[in-house]
């Protein structure tokens, strides 16, 4: 029987049309396509605030993906908003935090993608650069702006890590982020870095398996080496 992978959802608000401001539940379809291509059943989990509902959501899945989206609210790591901070959404932050806590309690494997990596780190007590410009070492272009399936920079990977078992010591990735990890939480270790030292991958050192990547492998899943990441994650469930 195929495994079921829960995909944490997002909220968007119509900017125009018949119902300006109208909220819609969604995920980018590449998440769904990547999970299906990896041999599992994708199940989109809409944003909810009710803990009982979230536990019921997760009771029917074998693994969880925390997706990209809004910036993480810096108040969650005791910082005031930087002038370059993008749009945040409390409902999304609350939902992701609840998903992570519940998944850990239920023993579910978790994969965080882009924002997903960031919120995994924040939930465990780490913090973030609110913009890559805050990091004096940062010089790589981390927001490529277009061509989402195209790799635009390299990532070096620590041996004896989960990511190493998939990619070896180096891979090429796309890049669509302006926040990044500053202090990594004790629950995780950094296992992958861009050439400027920006953390591109983390893995749990305690508790159920959890990992995060700063790039968007779902947008590159039509390439076999990136689809291998999702296949490997499904095998963890």
Read off the tokens for 138.
């940062």
- With b for 16 or more beta-carbon neighbours within 10 A and e for fewer, the 103-116 pattern comes to bbeeebbbbbbbbb
Known catalytic membership, residue 132: no
Which one from 153, 177, 216, 221 is the annotated catalytic residue?
216
Which one from 114, 132, 153, 177 is the annotated catalytic residue?
114
Which one from 123, 200, 203, 218 is the annotated catalytic residue?
218
CA distance 194 to 9: 28
Known catalytic membership, residue 218: yes
- Lookup result for tokens 């990532």: 155
CA distance 234 to 43: 13
Strand order through the sheet with 188-194:
41-45, 4-8, 63-66, 110-113, 210-213, 199-204, 188-194, 153-157, 170-173
β-strand partners of 21: none
Residues marked active site are found at 114, 216, 218
């Amino acid at each position: 029987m195929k495994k079921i992978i829960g995909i944490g959802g997002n909220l968007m608000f119509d900017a125009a049309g018949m119902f300006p401001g109208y909220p819609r539940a969604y995920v980018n379809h590449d998440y769904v396509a990547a999970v299906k291509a990896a041999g599992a059943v994708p199940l989109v989990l809409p944003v909810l605030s009710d803990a009982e509902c979230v536990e019921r959501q997760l009771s029917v899945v074998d693994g969880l993906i925390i997706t990209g989206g809004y910036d993480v609210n810096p108040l969650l790591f005791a910082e005031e908003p930087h002038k370059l901070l993008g749009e945040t959404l409390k409902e999304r932050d609350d939902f992701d935090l609840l998903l992570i806590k519940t998944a850990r309690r239920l023993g579910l494997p978790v994969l965080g993608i882009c924002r997903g990596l960031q919120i995994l780190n924040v939930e465990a007590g780490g913090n973030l650069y609110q913009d890559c410009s805050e990091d004096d070492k940062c010089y790589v272009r981390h927001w490529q702006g277009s061509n989402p399936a195209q790799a635009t920079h390299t990532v070096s990977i620590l041996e004896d890590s989960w990511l190493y078992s998939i990619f070896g010591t180096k891979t090429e990735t796309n890049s669509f982020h302006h926040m990044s990890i500053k202090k990594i939480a004790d629950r995780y270790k950094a296992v992958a870095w861009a050439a400027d030292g920006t953390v591109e991958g983390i893995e749990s050192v305690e508790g159920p398996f959890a990992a995060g990547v700063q790039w968007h492998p779902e947008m590159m899943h039509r390439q076999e080496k990136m689809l291998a990441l999702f296949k490997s994650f499904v095998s963890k469930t």
